[in-house]
Every structure is written in C-alpha cells, then in structure tokens.
C-alpha cells in the first residue's frame, strides 16, 4: 500500500470516505451544492443532520434556478444509497468473476498490468475515456496523471458524444471555445430560435427562464419532431431530419434579400461575409423547399421574425451537435447571429446549450483535446507555459492532441490501443453502434472501469473495477452552460472503501511512481489554485476568483481575471455576464469568422427494406443518459414511461397494421429492439423516434461522425418497424 493511501485510510472517519471535508468548510445545517446532472447548474440546498445530508430543496436565492429544480435535481441524493454501489475494488479472477479485493492489491494489479501492456506495445497503447460528470479538479488530475505521469497520449471524454461540434464551431468562428451567453438572455430576447433542442424536457429550468421573459417573445422551434417545446412555440418548423443546414442557409439568403444585414457590425467585427453571401445565394426558396420539405412561406416567416426582432437569440443542442455536419450547422447559426448583429447585446447570441453538469470543465481543463486551460498541445510555447506552472519537464507533455473517442475505439480494433481506463462513463451502453463493443473491449490486455457502480454495462466487462464516490460525496467545481462556476461538496459518506476519484488518482500516481509530479495537487482546492494559474491570460481566465468560497456564491462566470474591472469578490460584479459586448473576438484579428460548407446527405438514408428515419433523443425529464443513476430512484422511474416506446406516425402505423400499444420490433441494419408503438403525429410521416436510455437503442444507430469534430451522429439512420412475433428476442 502506498504511503499516501495508507495515510488517507488511517485518518478515515468511520464510513465517511477518503477526502475529509476540510475543517474550515464542514457544512453547516444547510449547505449549497450545484446539481450533478445536467449543464444548467441549478443550486441545491442540502440539509444536514449531524453533518450528513438528509434532504434537499432547490436554492431560492441561486441566480440560475431561483427556487426550482427538475425531478432529477430533487432526487439527486437518492442514487448515493443504491444497493449496487461499488464498495470495494473488484478484480476478475481466473474463473471470470469479479471478486472483491483490497485497495493495495487493486493498485498493484493496476500498475503491473498497465505497465506490462505498455512495455509490450508502447506507452501510447494505453488510453483513457473520461466524463463530463466529475469535478474539474478531478478531470485535470486524471488528464495530467495519464499524460504527464503514465505516458499516455490518448484520452478523450464522453463530452465528445454531446459537445464536440459546438467546441469546434466556436473555436473556428470565435477563436476560442466560448459560449457567449448568460441565462438572462432567455428573458431579454424578443425572438428565441431553438434548433434541435427540446428544452422543456432536456433543460427544464432553462425553459422556465423563457417563461419569465416579459417581452412575450416569439419562440421558434426547428425540430423534425413536434416536441413538448415545439408545442409551446409560436412557430414550429419541422424540416426533414438532417436538412437543417440547407434551411439555415436559405434563411441567410432571405435575410440578405430583405436587407436585414447589420452592415456596420459585419464590417467592423467579422470576416468572410462577402464569400458567405455569395455561397448562400444558391439556396433559393425552391431548393430549400426541396431539401427540407418546408413550404417557402414557412422559411420566409422565420426570416421575417429574425429581421424584425430587436434582440434575437439562437440556441442549439444535441439535434445540431449530433450530426454528420454538426460543426457547419452550428456555424450556420453563428453566421445568422453575426450577419444580423445579434451577439454581445442582451437577449442575443449564438448559444450552444451544453449537456452534462461539467462538460465545460471538461472542454477547458480535462487535458484531452485541449492542453490544460484551453491551451494547444501542438504549441511549443503553450507546452512550456504549462510545464513551467506545473514544475515539470516540458518533454513530458505530448506535442499533439489525443485520438478522438471513435478513433480510440477503432484503435482497439486495430491493436493500436491495448489497455484502457474508463472513468465515470458507460460506453457499452451509450456509444454509437455499440453492438460489437463487448467483443472489442474483450480484446484489450487490460480494462479498468472506475465508477460509482459495479453494475454498469461497461463495468461488467472490466478486468478491474475501482469504486468511486459520487456527487455529494466529494469536493470540487463544475462549470455550467453559461460559463458559471459552481461548487460541489461532500455532504454524505461514500460507501465502504469507495474513494473520491481525486484520491483514486492520487493513489494511482503514488503506486505508479510518479506521485512526486503531483505533490502540489494535494486536494481539490489546491488544484483549483493551479487551474487558476493555468488559465492566466486565456479567454477563460479565472485568476480573479477568490477560491471556493467565492465560487459557492454562484456569482462567478468566466472570464474572471485578476485586476479586471469589477473582478474582485466584492459582490459588485454582475451576476450575469455575456461575452463580446465590445465586438472583439478571440481570433488573431479579433474578428468573428463566417464559415460555411455545402450540405451533404447523411451516410445512411431511408429506403428499400429500411424505409423509415430513426431519430433518437431524451425520453423524459426524469431520465439521464444511460440511467446509471436515475434508475436508482423509484420516484424518477415512476415519472418515466415504463418500458421502451417508439413514436410512429398514424400513416406509417396503418401501413403496417399497427395500433397504439402494439408490441413491435424496430430494426436497422445493425440490430433490433422490441418496443411498444406510440401512434402519434408528434413525429412526421416516415420518421420514428426512440428514447436513448434503453441499452439496446445504440446497438441500432449508424456510426457516422462529423468529420471536423468526430462527434457521433446519433440522430439519424434507416430503420423498419414491424409487429413483433413470438420468436423475436
């Protein structure tokens, strides 16, 4: 056992997990945590008895949620008490069973087998897959340990599955991954355009912010489905799946013809408009109607609303990002905001809504695609700066980015990747076209899964499971969709031998023999100070933040630089701030770029034996991703539909002699799943819809990827639906 781990275990109060709450921050009777599910970042007041959580209520005074929470937030503590928590390390024995072992043995096996695989196949044959669900400090330590201490070059996050297209879109257009908005913009717009976003269900508290808008805004929803959000919109456009890029270019052409271009803004603050205007000239009403299935009048109405609006905001989420042209579609929305001058002012913006609670922390500090602090691995100066701050040799830092998630999976199939460390993600359920995942992961020399539960589909395939503390059992910070920092704290004991991920990484570093590189990384708050140093001079500069106590106020959005106007933690800084009010962007010439590309058809189109388009997405507000946590709550289970339902249009149901409630099989070229038919006009004729939470759904999806972001295109493939037969599995 390492000295560090022995010390931690020795000072462990009975049942209260490693990572003792520092005495200065022992929670009082009520303490505030930012929610650990989605990226909204709601404040939750956790109520304590004898220092332990006994319940929670949404924070009435928190700037984000103002006393509201969705069902997941209300039930945030319940998954901690689930009976299938991993309470000891689990090691697969000679008979193929996962059996409990102590931490000393687990760490010895971890280091011995990873090192043996690296010795045989090269240090870069080891990789990690991480998450947007753990605090920034933990992500940063994992990324630094794996790449600077263990010799890995490749490690990615599950944020690749939800946000990568927005990241690339922003980097190329604005010069940095910088969502420009603040939630106050929901309340200050007079035209709100939501694209591929079912906000009512996926981000209910953001939707609530829209309901507080006093301007009686026009709400436009662009979505092939008539979602709950579309039902509440003043205008719903339902284009053919994956034709939204053509639609947005047609809207741009229409705006130019109307003379609705903010010429001064375009001239002073952008580049590339002339080429963009020439390009969209080809998107005539006839062409756009043919591509999208929308009437020319519908496109004209949307353009008129944008042209007449005084504060127009454009919002998007997974319907855009999870696309074979997600980057360009996001950039088309950025183009619309730029050409109409709808950015940097209250109620405006080209605004990507993030998915996971700490996706933004991952984007900036996980050391995966970006070097710590939004730096560039390929930039020698950046490597030198980071090495200097960390006190390490710059040659330890890889000189290029990691393989993306899909390339890591592909690398397993080719033998390039031979050992894998999976942290708080469940790819055997969530990865696109995962039907061969079990076989692929079985090829690895060594698979480690670090998770709250040993029962996830991925953990069940592991050679070694490391038991991790969950939200509420450890300390750290998250960054939400609007760039706001939030604090999570330990208010509940981790079960058994489960440890905060942070202290697992520390123990691994000691066992590996590189603990000396991380002596300064003593606890999460010490790491937060390191992250502040790493952010210095970057667009995400947080050097002016006054530590965890300041973060806990909920009043910190990046940038928050030392010495910046109003940057002292005095309460005088506005609680909501947006970027680009001065019209200066993060590109070298400080101009935002118009970016565009010809639309191309999806890789797999309906036809022949598979005549329907299968769409996937969120099922209900009480479900979260692979349901690793939400399935543990009886309340959340009761709020979600029981079993798997497929939405099918009445005409498609009639053609197959199907009635509502019939048991059917949804089949694609890759697999099939049983479901019950929900006959509804909520999907268009020719489309069917499955919620993503069932473990078999992603055995069906088609593995297409955006070529720029490598984000999977979950939301479109060819399918057939038929009545189920007794012989169907």
Residues that bind ligand SF4 (CB under 6 A): 35, 37-38, 40-42, 65, 69-70, 72-73, 204-205
**Secondary structure class of 92 (helix, strand, coil):** strand
In the complex, the smallest distance separating the C-beta of residue 636 from ligand SF4, rounded to whole angstroms, is 11
CB of 329 within 8 A of CB of 600? no
CB of 293 within 8 A of CB of 243? yes
In the complex, the smallest distance separating the C-beta of residue 296 from ligand SF4, rounded to whole angstroms, is 38
State the Cα–Cα distance between residues 303 and 280, nearest whole angstrom. Answer: 14
| Smaller CB separation from ligand SF4, 41 or 539 | 41
Kindly report the backbone phi and psi dihedral angles of residue 410, in degrees, each rounded to the nearest multiple of 5, phi listed first: -60, -40
406-411, Cβ contacts within 8 angstroms, sequence gap of 24 or more: 406/160, 406/703, 406/705, 406/710, 406/712, 407/154, 407/710, 408/127, 408/129, 408/154, 408/156, 409/437, 409/440, 411/127, 411/154
Q: Please give the structure tokens belonging to residue 533.
A: 């140093």
State the Cα–Cα distance between residues 451 and 471, nearest whole angstrom. Answer: 12
In the complex, the smallest distance separating the C-beta of residue 333 from ligand SF4, rounded to whole angstroms, is 23
In the complex, the smallest distance separating the C-beta of residue 62 from ligand SF4, rounded to whole angstroms, is 10
| Smaller CB separation from ligand SF4, 282 or 638 | 638
State the Cα–Cα distance between residues 695 and 400, nearest whole angstrom. Answer: 34
In the complex, the smallest distance separating the C-beta of residue 75 from ligand SF4, rounded to whole angstroms, is 9
| Smaller CB separation from ligand SF4, 331 or 358 | 358
In the complex, the smallest distance separating the C-beta of residue 470 from ligand SF4, rounded to whole angstroms, is 14
In the complex, the smallest distance separating the C-beta of residue 208 from ligand SF4, rounded to whole angstroms, is 9
In the complex, the smallest distance separating the C-beta of residue 43 from ligand SF4, rounded to whole angstroms, is 9
Report which secondary-structure segment, H or E, holds 112: helix 103-121
Residue that is written with structure tokens 């991952």 in the block: 362
Q: Is 513 left (phi over 0), alpha (psi -120 to 50) or beta?
A: left
| Smaller CB separation from ligand SF4, 124 or 627 | 627
| Smaller CB separation from ligand SF4, 207 or 594 | 207
CB of 677 within 8 A of CB of 661? yes
In the complex, the smallest distance separating the C-beta of residue 498 from ligand SF4, rounded to whole angstroms, is 22
| Smaller CB separation from ligand SF4, 8 or 205 | 205
Cβ contacts of 411 within 8 Å, gap of 6 or more: 127, 154, 403, 417
In the complex, the smallest distance separating the C-beta of residue 313 from ligand SF4, rounded to whole angstroms, is 19
**Secondary structure class of 76 (helix, strand, coil):** coil
| Smaller CB separation from ligand SF4, 37 or 548 | 37
CB of 693 within 8 A of CB of 625? yes
Q: Please give the structure tokens belonging to residue 42.
A: 């709601």
State the Cα–Cα distance between residues 357 and 170, nearest whole angstrom. Answer: 19
In the complex, the smallest distance separating the C-beta of residue 356 from ligand SF4, rounded to whole angstroms, is 10
Q: For residue 620, count CB atoms less than 10 angstroms from its CB and return exposed for 0-12, middle for 13-18, buried for 19 or more.
A: middle
Got the DSSP string for 296-337?
HHHHHHHHHHHHH-SSEEEEE-HHHHSSTTHHHHHHHHHHHH
| Smaller CB separation from ligand SF4, 554 or 606 | 554
In the complex, the smallest distance separating the C-beta of residue 204 from ligand SF4, rounded to whole angstroms, is 5
66-71, Cβ contacts within 8 angstroms, sequence gap of 24 or more: 68/42, 68/205, 68/208, 69/35, 69/42, 69/44, 69/205, 70/38, 70/42, 70/204, 70/205, 70/621, 70/622, 71/621, 71/622, 71/635, 71/636, 71/639
CB of 241 within 8 A of CB of 321? no
| Smaller CB separation from ligand SF4, 41 or 175 | 41
Got the DSSP string for 200-243?
HHHSHHHHHHHHT-TT--EEEEE-SS--HHHHT-SEEE-PPTT-
| Smaller CB separation from ligand SF4, 41 or 319 | 41
Residue nearest to ligand SF4 (CB): 73
In the complex, the smallest distance separating the C-beta of residue 619 from ligand SF4, rounded to whole angstroms, is 14
In the complex, the smallest distance separating the C-beta of residue 70 from ligand SF4, rounded to whole angstroms, is 3
State the Cα–Cα distance between residues 125 and 144, nearest whole angstrom. Answer: 17
State the Cα–Cα distance between residues 403 and 406, nearest whole angstrom. Answer: 8
Report which secondary-structure segment, H or E, holds 121: helix 103-121
Sheet of 98-100, strands arranged across: 98-100, 90-92, 464-467, 446-451, 419-423, 126-130, 154-157
């Amino acid at each position: 056992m390492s000295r560090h781990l022995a010390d931690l275990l020795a000072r462990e109060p009975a049942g209260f997990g490693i990572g003792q709450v520092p005495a200065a921050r022992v929670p009082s009777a009520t303490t505030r945590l930012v929610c650990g599910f989605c990226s909204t970042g709601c404040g939750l007041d956790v109520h304590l008895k004898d220092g332990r959580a006994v319940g929670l209520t949404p924070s009435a005074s928190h700037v984000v949620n103002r006393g509201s929470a969705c069902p997941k937030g209300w039930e945030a503590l319940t998954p901690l008490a689930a009976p299938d928590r991993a309470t000891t390390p689990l090691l697969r024995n000679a008979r193929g069973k996962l059996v409990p072992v102590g931490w000393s043995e687990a760490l010895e096996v971890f280091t011995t087998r990873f090192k043996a695989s690296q010795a045989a196949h090269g240090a870069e044959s080891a990789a990690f897959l991480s998450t947007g669900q753990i605090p920034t400090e933990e992500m940063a330590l994992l990324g630094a340990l794996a790449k600077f201490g263990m010799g890995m070059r490749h490690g990615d996050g599950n944020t690749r599955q939800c946000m990568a297209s927005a990241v690339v879109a922003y980097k190329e257009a604005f010069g940095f991954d910088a969502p420009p908005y603040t939630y106050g913009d929901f309340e200050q717009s007079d035209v709100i355009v939501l694209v591929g976003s079912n906000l009512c269900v996926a981000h209910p508290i953001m939707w609530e912010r829209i309901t507080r808008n006093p301007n009686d805004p026009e709400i436009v929803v662009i979505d092939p489905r008539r979602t709950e959000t579309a039902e509440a919109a003043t205008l719903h456009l339902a284009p053919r799946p994956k034709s939204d890029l053509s639609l947005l270019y047609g809207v741009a052409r229409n705006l130019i013809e109307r003379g609705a271009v903010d010429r001064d803004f375009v001239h002073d603050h952008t580049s590339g408009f002339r080429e963009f205007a020439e390009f969209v000239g080809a998107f005539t009403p006839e062409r756009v109607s043919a591509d999208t299935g929308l009437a020319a009048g519908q496109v004209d109405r949307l353009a008129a609303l944008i042209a007449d609006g005084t504060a127009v905001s454009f919002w998007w989420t997974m319907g855009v990002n999870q696309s074979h042209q997600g980057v360009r579609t996001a950039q088309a929305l950025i183009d619309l905001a730029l050409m109409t001058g709808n950015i940097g002012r209250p109620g405006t913006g080209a605004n990507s809504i993030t998915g996971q609670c700490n996706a933004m922390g991952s984007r900036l500090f996980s050391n995966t695609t970006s070097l710590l602090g939004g730096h560039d691995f390929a930039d020698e100066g950046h490597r030198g700066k980071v090495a200097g701050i960390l006190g390490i040799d710059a040659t330890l830092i890889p000189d290029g980015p990691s393989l993306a998630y899909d390339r890591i999976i592909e690398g397993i199939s080719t033998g390039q990747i031979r050992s894998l460390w999976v942290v708080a993600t469940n790819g055997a359920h969530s990865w696109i076209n995962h039907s061969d995942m079990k076989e692929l992961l079985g090829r690895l020399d060594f698979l480690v899964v670090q998770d709250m539960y040993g029962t996830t589909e991925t953990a069940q395939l592991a050679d070694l499971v490391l038991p991790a503390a969950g939200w509420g059992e450890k300390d750290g910070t998250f960054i939400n969709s609007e760039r706001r920092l939030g604090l999570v704290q330990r208010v509940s004991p981790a079960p058994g031998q489960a440890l905060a991920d942070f202290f697992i990484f520390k123990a691994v570093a000691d066992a590996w023999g590189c603990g000396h590189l991380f002596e300064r990384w003593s606890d999460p708050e010490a790491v937060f100070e390191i992250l502040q140093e790493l952010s210095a001079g970057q667009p995400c500069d947080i050097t002016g933040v006054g530590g965890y106590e300041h973060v806990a106020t909920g009043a910190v959005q990046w940038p928050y630089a030392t010495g910046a106007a109003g940057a002292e933690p005095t309460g005088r800084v506005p609680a909501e701030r947006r970027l680009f009010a001065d019209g200066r962007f993060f590109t070298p010439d400080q101009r935002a770029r118009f970016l565009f590309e010809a639309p191309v058809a999806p890789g797999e189109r309906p036809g022949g034996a598979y005549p329907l388009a299968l769409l996937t997405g969120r099922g209900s507000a009480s479900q979260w991703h692979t349901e690793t946590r939400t399935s543990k709550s009886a309340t959340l289970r009761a709020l979600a539909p029981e079993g798997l339902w497929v939405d099918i249009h009445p005409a498609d149901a009639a053609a197959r002699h199907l009635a509502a409630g019939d048991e059917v099989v949804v089949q694609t070229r890759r697999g099939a799943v049983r479901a019950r038919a929900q006959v509804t006009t909520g999907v268009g004729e020719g489309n069917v819809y499955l919620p993503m939470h069932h473990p078999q759904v992603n055995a069906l999806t088609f593995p297409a990827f955006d070529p720029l972001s490598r984000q999977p295109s979950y939301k479109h493939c060819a399918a057939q639906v038929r009545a189920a037969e007794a012989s169907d599995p």
